[in-house]
Structure formats: structure tokens, C-alpha cells
Amino acid sequence: MTAESAIRHRTVQWGALIGGLAAIGLAAFIGAWITILNAGEPLAVDAAWLQLMLDTRTPFTEGLALFLNFIGGGRVGILVVPLAIAGLFLLLRRPWAALFSIAAALAATLGVQLLKHLFGRARPEEMLVHSDFGSFPSGHTANAAAIAVTFGVLIPRVWVWVAGSAYVVLMAWSRTLLGAHWLSDTVGGALIGAGVVLVLWAFSAHWLEAERLGAARAREARRGVAA
């Protein structure tokens, strides 16, 4: 049995499924806790973190945060970036990976909007940017987490996971520095973004891994011919 055949026989990646559902459930729990038990008011850690962000606002940090605001949301974050990622995987001759990346981005967006309308949390008053309805969860952070986990599962390398994690943390920082979100909003965003991708991966890993191994073998064959 080839490696691809063995992978195809693993119809569900249970670890990814359980982890993804747990992340989604935790995001919903945090939102419910804030909305119901805390009456939508900021948690103590939210207030303390926001004050720290206000104290560290400078032209440089605001400029960096505004750049991340531009690439992480709106038409760029929801449309341009996912299409660019899909195009990258098409160039790598991995069409199923390209389709998966689009599905992951769409699922993260839908998950965020569902929770935003479910909880309707108010945003901080110190916002420097215009934002849509609902503070919980952070859509920018969810998009970042979805991208990070998508690359992590499709290109399973340590440096990919490290770079992706750094991007998520940086995006979460930017959202709170701009006053667009409370810290707990970014935690919820990271959880929902990562969770939906893991759930999708759980049911498609067997095909995507087979495609990845096939593409790697094809690249090695081309190198051998060129040599």
C-alpha cells in the first residue's frame, strides 16, 4: 500500500475534529460568558490590556496596526488574500489545496458573523478605525488564524506554524491597539478561525495529504529529469 493509499483510508482525522470542535465551543462559551454573566461589559483583563495599548500608541505602532487592518479585513482580507493563497496552491499544482483554502476562509467569515450577531458585544470607545457591527469575535484575528492553520496543515513545516502563530499574535495586537476590539474578542477570533479550519481538515486531510505527497514526488521527478 502506498503512502497516498494509506492516507485515503483514514477517512476522519479525529484529533483535528475534536480539537476544532473544542476551539469553536470555547469561542462560543467565552462569548456567552461575556454577554450573559458579565452583561457585555469588558473583563478586567480587557480593560487593563486596552489601557496598555492606549499608553503604547505611537505613529509607528499605529501605522503598523493600520497596515494590518488593511490586509486583514474588508475586501482585501476577505477576498483578495484568500484568492491569492488559492492562486499560490494552484501554482504548486495543488488544486484541492486551493479549494480547501477558499473553503476555510469562507467558513471562518461565516463563523465570525454568526457569533457577532449572536452576542452583539459593543466595541471599545477608543476606536481609531471604522468597523462593522459586533465586537466579539475579532474577524481580522479569525482570518489570520484561518490563514495560519490552513498553511500549517497544507504545508506541515515547523517554520510555517511559527510564522503563522506570529501573524495571529501580531494581528490580535493590532486590533486592540486600534481600539477596534477587546483582548477577549481576539482570543475568540483566533479560536473560531482555527477551529473551523481544523474541522474542515478533519474530513479532507486524507485527500489533501495524498495530493501533497503526489505533488512532492512530481517535483522530485522533474528535478531528476532536469539534472
Length of the chain: 227
Contact 200, 143 (CB under 8 A): no
Taken in order of first residue, the domains within the chain and their CATH numbers are 13-216 (1.20.144.10)
The pLDDT tens digits of the residues spanning 34-93 come to: 999 888 889 999 999 999 999 999 999 999 999 999 999 889 999 999 999 999 999 999
Cβ burial of 212 (10 Å; 0-12, 13-18, 19+) is buried
Burial 92-108 (b: 16+ CB within 10 A, else e): bebebbbebbebbbebb
Contact 5, 214 (CB under 8 A): no
DSSP 129: S
The pLDDT tens digits of the residues spanning 173-191 come to: 999 999 999 999 999 999 9
Confidence bin at 141 (pLDDT 50/70/90): very high
pLDDT, averaged across the chain: 92
Q: Which DSSP string corresponds to 14-45?
A: HHHHHHHHHHHHHHHHHHHIIIIISTTPPPHH
Backbone region of residue 40 per phi and psi (left: phi > 0; alpha: psi in -120 to 50; beta: other values): left
Q: Is the pLDDT of residue 2 over 60?
A: no
The vertex-93 CA angle with 92 and 98, nearest 5°, equals 85
Contacts of 210 (CB under 8 A, 6+ apart): 3, 4, 5, 7, 8
pTM of the predicted model over 0.85:
yes
**Alpha helices, DSSP H only, in 80-182?**
81-91, 95-119, 139-154, 158-177
Mean per-residue pLDDT, 126-145: 93
Q: What are phi and psi of 181, to 5 degrees?
A: -150, 155
Closest CA to 128 of 66, 58, 46: 66
Q: Residue 77 is placed in which grid cell?
A: 482580507
